[in-house]
Amino acid sequence: MIDKKLEKMINDQINYETYSAYIYLAMGAYFDAKGLPGFANWMKVQWQEELFHAKKMYLYLLAKGGRPFYIAIPDPGKEWKTSKAAFEHALKHENSVTARINAIKSEAMKLGDHATSVFYNWYVNEQVEEEKNVTEIIQKIELLGNDGQGIYLLDKELAARVFVEPPLAE
């Protein structure tokens, strides 16, 4: 059986991952409307990743005898001033996800819940990758500035991203 405080933290994170997915889907729609299908693709792949994260936590919580619950999802927004601003928003959001994941892992360690602590190792490592990926795109956008040809090529690069669902149990 999982500790009630930890159960609440995981439930909150399941909902936050769902909110994250909603943000990325909104950004995908923003980029689709701007005529940047590669940027939109990158965001929609991220949307799929976030839903996978929530699903993995959901199943883990059930396995530990907890009960997942869902709450209303906040408005993710729909407009960003620039492509760079959208990715900066994504990075700020990923920073908040990292803080939340670290808090769950710390609480699990404090409680001596080794299974939950080990389970969240995957998310700790995943967040390093999430922040790195968004940071690299921001750096590329900064490098390109208003170079339309460069943005076109970056759009083609981002179009190549695909979602491959990792195994649920690791």
Provide the pLDDT for residue 169. 66
Cα 108 to Cα 115: distance, rounded to the nearest angstrom: 8
Task: Name the CA radius of gyration of the chain, rounded.
Answer: 17
| Domain residue extents for the chain | 4-159
Amino acid at 121: N
> CB within 8 A of 107, min separation 6: which ones?
5, 6, 9
Q: What share of the chain is helix, strand, coil (3-state, %, to 5)?
A: 75, 0, 25
Mean pLDDT (whole number) for 150-161 = 96
pLDDT tens, position by position, 18-45: 999 999 999 999 999 999 999 999 999 9
* Percent of the chain scoring above 70 in pLDDT: 99
C-alpha distances in angstroms, 158 versus 14, 24, 107, 153? 27, 14, 37, 9
Fold of the 4-159 domain: Ferritin (1.20.1260)
Tell me the pTM.
0.94
φ, ψ for residue 120, nearest 5 deg: -80, -10
The yes-or-no verdict on residue 146 having pLDDT over 90 is no
Residue 101 tokens read as 């994941």
**Are the C-beta atoms of 30 and 86 separated by less than 8 Å?**
yes
Q: Which amino acid is at 20?
A: S
Kindly tell me if the per-residue pLDDT of 170 is higher than 60.
no
Q: pLDDT-based confidence at 17, cuts 50/70/90? A: very high
* 71-91 per-position pLDDT tens digit: 999 999 999 999 999 999 999
